[in-house]
Structure 1
Amino acid sequence: MPIYAGQRVTAGQLNRIQPVDYIGEATAALVATTTYQLIPGCSVTLTTQAANALYSVSAVFDCSVTGVHTQNLMVGRLMVDGVGGSGLAIHAMDTADRDTVAMVWRGTLPAAGSHTLQIEGVINAAGGTGSFLQYSRILVTISEVV
């Protein structure tokens, strides 16, 4: 829906171009393993009205290292409709500590319809123990013109 120079714009037209936020909050801890797993509650399912909607994701991974490993990492990633995003949130496991690690992503949803965006956690190799705890969050902002 283009808006042309000099055109009278209605409230309804403006409502159709405003960004919409969705949030997913951890409902339980995820004890990390060497296989990526969904952080419970950190999933958002939404419906876009038009093709090529833009998404912006901010995520916080509440990382707790309980078993130190000098080389391993706790890693968080974004999944969009079952496909992994390109950036990773990384926390070193060299100290028994707890930190919030943030990451942001941006992309396009090529087709209109239902989409699922979620964050997952893993330990990159055997050794060390840790969990993604209850303050993990995903915030998705969808911008589209319909």
Structure 2
Amino acid sequence: MPLLAGQIFKASQANHLRPTKYSAVGTGTLTGAVSNTDVPDATITLTTETDGAEYSAWCVWDVDLSGATTGLGFGRLNLDGSNLNPLSTYAQEVTTDRLTVPQNYRGTIPTAGTHTFKLVATLVANQQILGVNTSILVEIAEVV
């Protein structure tokens, strides 16, 4: 909504001039084999006030092996129940391998309201996500 000549600028409008950041760190270990399963507590629930809010998300999955495997695992951002692309992809072959896998996302939230961002993972047997080193940072920019 544009500001009109002579209009009084309200504090609630000023809040939209500065992007807001939210972050979460996982807590527990997620062990495979699982498919598109939530990383424990790597979840952010927030409320947008305007339609068309833009988001940027930076995500990191800490992947470790509990035994040898050659299978691929995947991490992704889930927004309001929908899995988003791109994937973070990881593979390890020996139990001494460990990966910190990043991925980032940008998009628009069509409607104002409460929204949930969370990290999900697909793991093969012997792969695990260490939640205490897995994190998500979301920045929301709303237009006045």
Identify the TM-score tier after normalising by the shorter chain.
Answer: 0.7 to 0.9
Deviations 1:3-47 (A, max 9, x none): 57x999968344322100111111111112232210001010000
Amino acid at match of 2:76: R
Amino acid at match of 1:64: D
- The separation in 2 between residues aligned to 1:29 and 1:129, in whole angstroms, is 12
The answer to whether the aligner puts 1:137 opposite 2:135 as a matched pair is: yes
TM-score normalized by the length of structure 1? 0.86
User: Percent of pairs identical after alignment?
Assistant: 34
Q: Which runs of 5+ in 2 are unaligned?
A: none
Amino acid at match of 1:63: V
Q: Which runs of 5+ in 1 are unaligned?
A: none
Which stretches of structure 1, 4 residues or longer, exceed 4 Å deviation after superposition?
6-11
What's the counterpart of residue 75 of structure 1? 74
- The separation in 2 between residues aligned to 1:89 and 1:95, in whole angstroms, is 20
Aligned residues: 141
The answer as to whether partners of 1:27 and 1:40 remain within 8 angstroms in 2 is yes
Amino acid at match of 2:138: V
Q: Give the alignment's Cα RMSD to 1 decimal.
A: 2.1
TM-score normalized by the length of structure 2? 0.87
